Amino acid sequence: MKLVEAKADQFVFRFTRREREMLAHLLRQFPVGTRPVGPVSKQGDPDTLAEREALLAEAMAEQRQHDRHLVDAFLGEQGRFAEVKGGFHLRLTGAQMDWLLQVLNEVRVGLWVKAGRPEQPRAMVFGGHLEPALSMELCAHFQMVLLGALGGAAD
């Protein structure tokens, strides 16, 4: 994945066939988790905290459901990845890039939580979680390219 054009609020990325497949594989995993990563707070009235955590979980579930529909639409949209010589072009607005960053982060963090929140990625590899560890690294790679484009870097 490489930024090939950035004009105003339009960004064009070049993908190889394999990169396109990897991004689609990552996005199809969304949502990985269904609950908030941690408690709202460790201090306060337990009943109030439980109520707030339930509200947060409900709001997050609604957002994930909405984002799941957007992921399906994104992946299913005809021409989303325009075929060009030797690969594909993907056009995104800044808002679409922000959304894609959020989804990739949800996948990455969800996989980490599902693997038991290891402090080191190698613990995932040696703990039998090779595929999630690789998926997390791929999410991070795509996120870095998107962030670089938003920050003005051209590679």
Q: How confident is the model at residue 155, as a pLDDT? A: 44
Given 3-state DSSP classes, what are the helix, strand and coil percentages for the chain, each rounded to the nearest 5? Answer: 60, 15, 25
Residue 90: enclosing H or E segment and its boundaries? strand 87-93
> Residue 39's pLDDT band (boundaries 50, 70, 90)?
low
Backbone phi and psi for residue 35, each to the nearest 5 degrees, phi listed first:
-125, 160
What distance in Å separates the CA atoms of residue 103 and residue 26, rounded to the nearest whole number? 9
pLDDT tens-digit map of 41-59: 677 787 888 888 888 888 8
DSSP 1: -
**DSSP bridge pairs for 11:** 6, 92
Residue 98: enclosing H or E segment and its boundaries? helix 94-114
pTM across the whole model: 0.84
Spatial contact of 24 and 14, defined as CB atoms under 8 Å apart? no
| Residue ranges making up the domain that contains 92 | 2-150
Domain count, the chain: 1
Exposed/middle/buried for residue 57 (C-beta within 10 Å: 0-12, 13-18, 19+): middle
What distance in Å separates the CA atoms of residue 103 and residue 70, rounded to the nearest whole number? 10
- Both tokens of 15, joined, read 């993908």
The mean pLDDT value for 73-99 works out to 95
In a domain, 40, yes or no: yes
In a domain, 88, yes or no: yes
In a domain, 155, yes or no: no
141 or 61, which is more confident?
141
Spatial contact of 2 and 155, defined as CB atoms under 8 Å apart? yes
In a domain, 54, yes or no: yes
Backbone phi and psi for residue 66, each to the nearest 5 degrees, phi listed first:
-60, -45
pLDDT tens-digit map of 91-144: 999 999 999 999 999 999 999 888 888 887 777 777 777 888 899 999 999 999
